Amino acid sequence: MTALTRLEDAVYGLYAAGASAWARRRHRDDFARVERFCLFVGYPRSGHSLVGAMLNAHRDAVISHELNAHDLILAGCSRDELYGHILARSSWFNLRGNTSNYEYQVPRQWQGRFAALRVIGEKRGGAVTRCITAHPDFLDRVRDLVRVPLRAIHVVRNPWDNIAAISIDNRLSLPDAVDFYFRHCATTGRLGVPCAPEEVVTVRHEDMIRDPSGVLAGLLAFLELDAEPAYLDDCCSIVFPRPTYTRRKREWTPALLAEVERNVRDYPFLDGYAWEIPQEAGATPPPGP
């Protein structure tokens, strides 16, 4: 961790303490009117941030960026403490320009604020998946805490791209990244046990890029939020034109390619994914893993 990162974390800690306490006082009645609680499940570097940012831009939703809400829940926070921290984190991310590895600023929309708080939640898919692995009763704890319907968004990306991005971002060897990725799949592949069918939706990152308006409209229907045309257009404006083929940034052995292909067959939500890059793909990928 760099000195700059430590300083930013310290500043955020001070901001979050005050902002979350203020939100609990100011929005107590709004918290009581929340209709659904939303979590992301899945894998690091899979496209969660794009989806979360677009949902956070909706006038009736607040989806915070990487709060680590699961830690608050496991520590025994109250519902209002959780919601207060979500609002504080969303506000903080907006103050920073809604930027991390990519520009997530949706023009003319509602990031960092809301009109009517109908859906609240957090975007932190990989950490939540690991939490479910370590604490099989975690989703029951969430339901008991929020007392509104749970909605889980499972974002999937081409596994070869996802593994390569994990390898780069976490400084793992490719074999270690393969193991890391499929340990997450072992948990997401069993989501039908702790979740009812209406509680989970799977979204393919590549589908979001190919048809952002249609896929986002489907997510809004899943959350029972309105899909206003202007909102959809503004969200679509931040979607890059083609997937990032991060698999090209790592050297793959034939044995490792075959291992991934074998493992992919175990998970129906990965059906249709392959190593080959579509011929229409451009030579220069968008920036970032």
Please write the tens of the pLDDT for every residue from 3-49: 646 777 777 778 878 888 999 999 999 999 999 999 999 999 999 99
Contact 16, 91 (CB under 8 A): no
Rounded Cα distance, 41 and 31, in Å = 23
Considering the domain delimited by 12-270, tell me its CATH architecture: 3-Layer(aba) Sandwich (3.40)
Contact 132, 194 (CB under 8 A): yes
Rounded Cα distance, 69 and 32, in Å = 19
Measured torsion, CA atoms of residues 186, 198, 50, 97, in degrees rounded to the nearest 10: -120
Sheet holding 150-156, edge to edge: 61-65, 119-123, 36-41, 150-156, 200-204
pLDDT (tens digit, 9 = 90+) per residue, 120-133? Answer: 999 998 999 999 99
Rounded Cα distance, 145 and 8, in Å = 30
Q: Which one, of 46, 126, 120, lies nearest residue 90 by Cα?
A: 120
Categorize the per-residue pLDDT at 289 as very low, low, confident or very high, splitting at 50, 70 and 90. very low
Contacts of 19 (CB under 8 A, 6+ apart): 84, 87, 88, 91, 92
Contacts of 258 (CB under 8 A, 6+ apart): none
Rounded Cα distance, 157 and 74, in Å = 28
Residue 1 confidence (pLDDT) above 90? no
pLDDT of residue 94: 87
CB atoms within 10 A of CB 18: 10
pLDDT (tens digit, 9 = 90+) per residue, 63-117? Answer: 999 899 999 999 999 999 999 999 999 998 888 887 877 889 999 999 999 999 9
Rounded Cα distance, 125 and 44, in Å = 7
Mean pLDDT of the chain: 92
Contact 54, 106 (CB under 8 A): yes
Burial class (CB in 10 A: 0-12, 13-18, 19+), 100: middle
pLDDT (tens digit, 9 = 90+) per residue, 134-151? Answer: 999 999 999 999 999 999
Task: Give the torsion sign (CA, 268, 239, 90, 56).
Answer: negative
One-letter amino acid at 113 equals: R
| CA distances (Å), origin 23, targets 84, 91, 270 | 5, 10, 40
User: Which residues in the chain belong to E strands, given as ranges?
Assistant: 36-41, 61-65, 119-123, 150-156, 200-204
pLDDT of residue 280: 58
| CA distances (Å), origin 235, targets 54, 230, 232, 270 | 6, 9, 5, 26
Distance of CA 180 to the CA centre of its chain: 18
